[in-house]
Amino acid sequence: MKSLEHTLGKEYTITPAGGSTGEAYFAKSETKSLFLKRNSSPFLAVLSAEGIVPKLVWTKRMENGDVITAQEVLDGRELTPEEMKHPKVAKLLSKIHHSTELLDMLMRIGKKPLKPKEIFIELKKSVDQNSVEMVHTEIHQGIDYLEKMLPDIDSDMQVVCHCDMNHNNWLLSGNGQLYLIDWDNARVGDPAMDIGTVLQSYIPENEWNYWLESYGVEKNKQLINRMYWYLIAESISYINWHNSRFEKKEAAQRLKELKRLIQRVSEY
């Protein structure tokens, strides 16, 4: 904190921005507000250039080797769950998934494509390592489904996936510009990972065709299969994670979601 105050000068008041890492701050002066982050990925510069995140104002290397980035603080707000239906969301996500610049940069900094077979092997291993009382019937059903569908869901499409499609990460500026923030979980993989989360969490099924049309694809069985594959894999992963932390309430909630997903795929 002191090094930040020294770098910015006395005219700025610096306060923690919250978050799990404790590496983000707000800096405010009489004329300017900045969002500061310590040791952000170089990926941030490309996201800013593409207009995906608020503008990157400057990057500075500190004496201790840390790199501080400063972004504009928007006069705006987070999207509501209802607003996730808007075509703007679908179009921005499509822009991200089709950006060769974003993909090149993420690959350059060492992110390798996330393959379904690798996901399945790790997931099955973690389930097998759990105590018997923690492994519910639905988890076994989910693992069986993932294994059965594995040959059918491998996709040649490898894009930049945000992997955290929560509506709180979508920001609408005062002038109507939409941004997607918090890229710490970004991976290279199947766009169905992001698409499935948005559709399952925010879009009524009778509106999926319209949303996908805004994104730029048609609803088809192969896409739906891939979506549900990743959604089920994610649910099982979260159940294991909550169980490992003895968070019974959260694990039970994720188990309910898994039951719903298994029910849905049985209807297709």
Neighbours of 97 (CB within 10 A): 21
Sign of the torsion formed by the C-alpha atoms of 118, 194, 74 and 80: negative
The C-alpha R_g of the chain, in whole angstroms, comes to 20
Tell me the C-alpha to C-alpha distance, in Å, between residue 223 and each of 146, 194, 208: 15, 12, 12
The span from the CA of 254 to the CA of 232, in Å, is 10
Residue 178 Cα to chain centre, angstroms: 16
Closest Cα to residue 26, out of 34, 185, 180?
A: 34
Beta bridge partners of 58: 70
Q: Choose, from 66, 75, 128, 164, the residue flagged as catalytic.
A: 164
User: Is residue 144 flagged as an active site residue?
Assistant: no
Helix 208-215 vs helix 87-97: angle between axes, to the nearest 10 degrees?
Answer: 50
The span from the CA of 39 to the CA of 60, in Å, is 10
Spatial CB neighbours of 213, under 8 Å, sequence gap ≥ 6: none
Catalogue the active-site residues. 164
